[in-house]
Chains A and B, each alone.
Chain A
Amino acid sequence: MTNLLNSITANQNLKAENKTSFTFDSNGKVKPLQDKAKLLPPKVFGSPIECVKDLKTDVFNIKKALKGQANDYEIGRLNDLGLKAGSVGIASYLYVKNPLRLNKKMEFVGLTTFLGSMMLWPKVMIQAPLKARTGVDFRQEYIDSQGRKKYLYQDPQYVLTDLLPREELDKIGNKMDVDENLSDRDNFIKQRARKAALQANTLWMATAGFAAPVMSALSCNFVERILKTSSENAEFKKTEADAYKPVGENVEAKTKAFDKFLGELIKKEPNAVLSTDHIKTIGDKFGEIFTSSNSGYLTDFFKKDLQILADSSNEINEEFVKKVFGEYDEDGKLYKKVHKTIESPKYSAEKKIEKLVKTYSQSNKLKEELFGKNASEVKEHEMEKSIRNKILINATPTLKSIKTSLVNLYRSLAEYSEKKTNIDGFIFARMGQQNKPNSYIASKWECFGEKFVDALNFDSTFSTTELKKAKNGDEKFIKDKIKQLVKSDKLADSVNTFMKIIDDFNQVVKKCDVTTNGPLDIFKNAREVLVANKFNETAEHLISDKNVGTVYNVYKKGVEDSALSAKASFYRVIQYLGFEKSIEDGSLDKKIENLSQGNNIDKAKIKKACEEILFNSTTVNYIERFKNKPVNLTDKEVKVAMEVLFDTNDTKMLEECLSKDKEFTPEEKQRMLEDYKAHKTETRKYLGNYDNEMRTDFKTRTVADDLDKSIQHSMDGEKKNNLTGKKLTDFIKEAANKKYNSKKWLLFFSGIMAGLTTFTLTAGLFIGRKGKIEKQAEKESKMSIAA
């Protein structure tokens, strides 16, 4: 049967084109095909070209698969393709979902490191040691006769050990200590290799589940630190480039849409007067552009303005009558009849309209114009009604009449909105918290905190316990550490690092100054257009000298506040260090003596009080704190303490530290010093004014009469709050907590990883060992040879 089939096949195929692919034995029968399987050379990473080629084949296979012609191998590969597509899909989704550039990047980093860990773990931890020890490469790949890539040892019952070259086999045998005198040595070697590969495979399966996620997480942690700065900078650069980009196209598109919308409204009712419904719909259209630029607050005022426009009517005077009825009035006869009423100011508008209706209903030309052919049949009251309508339409604004001005206004406001949105992006990326959680200010804040903790760790002896103390805000510990820092020679380095951060920060704040640059112009331009179109309410609430709570003022205040509170917190640290330094070198004692002017004042008490305030205060009310428990200073002492706290000229420590620095240019040093002094002056003005006691401060402060006093007071209050800055312990707590967490996390997972590595490597040593059974078999084989 077999022979017959063979001959049939042979005969048929001889006719076929590829007859050369068959070989025949001496009887003319077809020999089995030559096997074309071959081993693939070992590689650490798959070459990208090969990956792309494989992917291409897979994608082309889809077509075949959809026809139902795929085989098991191809379906297996499609499965991998599906998983890849899913992984890329989910990474892309998360890329879009995450608002931050860094997190976006990290999604793909996560995917890559995960796949990389899955690939590297068995290679490094199992494959390489096993190959070195036994010569068995348990991930050896081969290509079979059909061109399918497979692992040599994937099926333990079907290992193509025949593919292994002679030398390889001998090498494995020698390394695995298989007796050289055995007659069926190859068989023994193959069995041992199969066993070792199976064990290695199982070890891989047992450990990969733990290893891949942890390895991936650790490497992500590492990559994130590298990417952080660069992606933040890229984010800032992008917003900076976007801030002043041209907005023409968007504005035109929006205006066109609005024009079309108005056109449709007019088409419905050509002579419609601006009604309440219209005010709502048109107001809402404007509201959209206000809302998109964070000034939705203006929408109501805009509607109010529209209402005022609707209520306004043209004054009925000579000009109006001539414009409306001029062409129907032959030789001005009819006008002569009404001119007294129209020109006299004592008659009301209603009276004037009455008179006009009565008079012009006599005009035949007007009658023909209004009623056409039926003019002769028209009754008098109908005629009067039509004329009254005509007057009213011309007197109050219709949609048609105000369309052009509304569209122009829309264009200007849309431009305002687009430009402001762009600048918002720029400013929020630096100063704001709104939709940019990782703003420049936040990152500088974080950086400062980190450096502060580093400064406390000046001698690099922070243990985890100490870090925990800092994290929990242990005051005594922090104060001690600061005192040690002040005494050490590392103070200058730390202070200069701080000053560098503050200086960078100041430069960025300058860029975001909304009072001088582009932003102010945007507001001013929008205001001009609004005022020109008599939308005064809106203009007043957009930007105004008289009104405190305008969109512009709130905007400005938001930016200034966040900058100020950060800056005050930074400088508070510098001030505290200076204070401690002056205690340490004794200059504070002299100062207090000078200030006390012969009065007997307890220096220690004052020092303690000031230290407490600088270190711990969260309230603006210093005087209250000084006078009450636990400090209980007398009035005279309070005066001295205030002088100590708010001495604007006390920059000795900073000057000393800056003079030790070699990186800053003299101009930079000067700039830093001046900024610090300016800040101190500002603080003194708001917080350190003993004559204006804090409680009565806002009552005595002169506010311009036309300002809204309550808003001004609350703004002052907030300013004081911002100037106070953050408590030092809080500053350290935040940063130390972050440091502690990442240290602990890293330690924990590094521990797991180390344990896993040790386990895998140790377990790897037991792979492929000669067991009891193998020893017995070898012994018996030898005995049979001997026999």
Chain B
Amino acid sequence: MVYLSNVSKQGLYAPRRVSFGKKDDANKEEQHKPAQLLYEERETEPWMTGLKIQADRTLKAFTTYSLKGMQGSKNSNFYETLTVGTVPYLIGSGMIAGTYSLANRYFSTPDAVASLAKARNVAGGVALFGILKNLSKKFIEVPIDRKYGIDISLPYKQKIDELPEERNKNNLTAYEYHDVYDSVDFPRFDLLYDNEYFGEERDDYFREVGLKMGIDEDDLEHADQKVRPLIKEKVAVAKSVSAINSGLWGAVGVGMGMQGVFSDFKFNPLSRASGFKKILSVLYYPIDFIKTAYSGLKRFLGTDRLCTPNYIYKKCNNLPFEASKAPESRHFAGRALFGAALGTTLLGNFLTLNDFNKDRGSNNAATSLIDDNKKKVVC
């Protein structure tokens, strides 16, 4: 605290901050909040917010957090340890493909080409592993958000007042990005109270969710007490299912990447064309990647008849299909893996979108330490 007072003294002489747009007061208020819910950003730009947070975390994992960890900083915390945990994932992914391609320069051309093809397969597998693993969480989360208004990956920005590393140094402010439901045991419900985004009442968020869950409005006098355990339950199911699910979808991603189509895919966007076309090829890159991944999926499953518009059109009009090859054992294995992933997703959706826990009321009474039926003295 000694250090804090120093800073505030300096503030007296500090030049007045010039700001454009937002009012100074509003700015101050925002900055004083230790945790700021990113609900508005999430509503307007659901994808970009997530990407920005990911980019921030990844960058810091490689720079700030690693450096602090190496120094053994007293400010290093579990959040930073977890974030630094993505570093080996990212380096390792590149390195796995690298074991096939890095020594290529010593090989003669045909060997280098063959080795590069394999490396591309691996790179495709690794990339799709990451993409599908993260995307699969949305398969579970989005339906819950749509039905109950519970956004499981709702982020908030946490302000951290760090301790000074050395004496006579100003204290530092750092920011961390957490999700409200990061922890199932201790969700940050406190951030959802008194939040103007959800309404004027203190517990409007819970009331809204409760109504969406089909609870009678009359029973929602103390909505938070009623709804919080239900939300916890939903989040726990969703998190458990997507924990298993994401591994299986990741495996499907690797399977897709291992198909022949990826051995021709140029991963470096700049090597894809020359001159003016370079710009186009860079712009076209994501589309090309998705296309390749799609044909990878078709080969993985051994079918040309995925539920595409073309397929549905032909099916509805009874048009003939091109004869496809008979599926081989590997296609059946692929289908089994895909079926397992899809099955767990659907099971997760089924469990989260329906309420099966009928005896919750009695359970609560049994486990509660305080018997509701007895008189209580509160001092």
Contacts and interface: CB of A to CB of B under 8 A. Distances in A.
Given A198-B76, A209-B88, A86 B247 contact: yes
A737 interface: yes
A155 B107 contact: no
Given A62-B244, A68-B236, A155-B81, A748 B102 contact: yes
B240 A66 contact: yes
B88 A208 contact: yes
B103 A744 contact: yes
A9 B369 contact: yes
A196 B247 contact: no
A745 B71 CA distance: 36
Contacts of A89: 248, 251, 337, 340
Contacts of A213: 92, 95-96, 98-99
A212 interface: yes
B90 A209 contact: yes
Given A8-B370, A96-B330, A201 B69 contact: yes
A371 interface: no
Given A68-B233, A156-B77, A199-B69, A749 B103 contact: yes
Contacts of A92: 333, 337
B70 to A, nearest CB: 5
Given A12-B369, A68-B233, A68-B236, A210 B247 contact: no
A97 B77 CA distance: 44
Given A67-B357, A198-B69, A206 B87 contact: yes
Contacts of A773: 165-166
B247 A199 contact: no
A42 B87 CA distance: 26
A12 B371 contact: yes
A541 B70 CA distance: 78
Interface string B65-99: 01001111100111001001101111110111011
A214 B81 contact: no
Contact of A205 (B78, B88, B255): B88
A212 B94 CA distance: 12
Q: Chain B contact residues: over half helix, strand or loop, or mixed?
A: helix
Contacts of B95: 209-210, 212-214
B78 A155 contact: yes
B370 A199 contact: no
Interface in B53-69: 66, 69
B120 interface: no
A672 B181 CA distance: 78
A212 to B, nearest CB: 6
Contacts of A230: none
A761 to B, nearest CB: 16
Contacts of B108: 471, 737
Nearest to B62: A206
A93 B250 CA distance: 13
A205 B250 contact: no
Nearest to B300: A93
Contacts of A157: 76-78
A4 B375 CA distance: 13
Interface in A1-41: 1, 4, 8-9, 12
Contacts, number: 192
Given A72-B185, A75-B236, A82 B248 contact: yes
Contacts of B248: 82, 85-86, 89
A749 B99 contact: yes
Interface string B301-339: 000000000000000000000000000011011100100
B183 interface: yes
Interface string B245-289: 111111100110010000000000000000000000000000000
Contacts of A94: 255, 258
Contacts of B76: 156-157, 198
A212 B184 contact: no
A156 B232 contact: no
Contact of B255 (A9, A65, A93, A209): A93
A97 B357 contact: no
Nearest to B111: A741
Nearest to B246: A82
A525 to B, nearest CB: 29
Interface in B336-379: 337, 340, 351, 356-357, 369-371, 377-379
Given A744-B103, A773-B166, A1 B240 contact: no
A321 interface: no
A65 B106 contact: no
B234 A68 contact: yes
A72 B184 contact: yes
A145 interface: no
Nearest to A155: B78
Given A86-B251, A198-B76, A205-B87, A741 B333 contact: no
A75 B232 CA distance: 13
Contact of A90 (B70, B90, B251): B251
Contacts of A93: 251, 255, 330, 333-334, 337
Contact of B333 (A97, A198, A212, A749): A97
Interface in A149-163: 154-158
A71 interface: yes
Contact of A83 (B78, B92, B185, B250): B250
Contacts of B250: 83, 86
Contacts of A208: 88, 91-92
Contacts of A9: 369
B131 interface: no
Contacts of A187: none
Contact of B99 (A81, A217, A740): A217
A432 B378 CA distance: 89
A205 B369 contact: no
A66 B103 contact: no
B369 A65 contact: no
Given A62-B244, A90-B255, A471-B108, A96 B329 contact: yes
A203 interface: yes
B258 A212 contact: no
B231 to A, nearest CB: 10
B256 to A, nearest CB: 11
Interface string A439-478: 0000000000000000000000000000000010000000
B144 interface: no
A80 B340 CA distance: 17
Nearest to B250: A86
Given A93-B255, A156-B81, A202-B66, A748 B244 contact: no
Given A12-B371, A154-B78, A209-B89, A79 B329 contact: no
Contacts of B220: none
A368 B165 CA distance: 118
Residue among A68, A194, A203 with the most chain B CB within 10 A? A68
Interface string A124-164: 00000000000000000000000000000011111000000
A69 B330 contact: no
A199 B98 contact: no
B92 A66 contact: no
Contacts of A86: 246-251
B239 interface: yes
Contacts of B245: 82
A134 B337 CA distance: 47
B335 to A, nearest CB: 10
B237 interface: yes
Contacts of A62: 240, 244
A751 to B, nearest CB: 10
Given A4-B377, A156-B76, 9 more contacts: A67-B233, A67-B356, A89-B251, A208-B92, A209-B89, A210-B92, A213-B99, A740-B106, A744-B103
19 contacts: A12-B369, A65-B237, A65-B241, A66-B237, A67-B356, A78-B244, A82-B244, A89-B251, A93-B333, A94-B255, A97-B330, A154-B81, A157-B76, A199-B72, A205-B69, A205-B88, A208-B91, A217-B99, A771-B72
A-B pairs, 8 with minimum CB distance: A209-B91, A202-B69, A82-B247, A86-B247, A68-B233, A65-B240, A195-B72, A86-B251
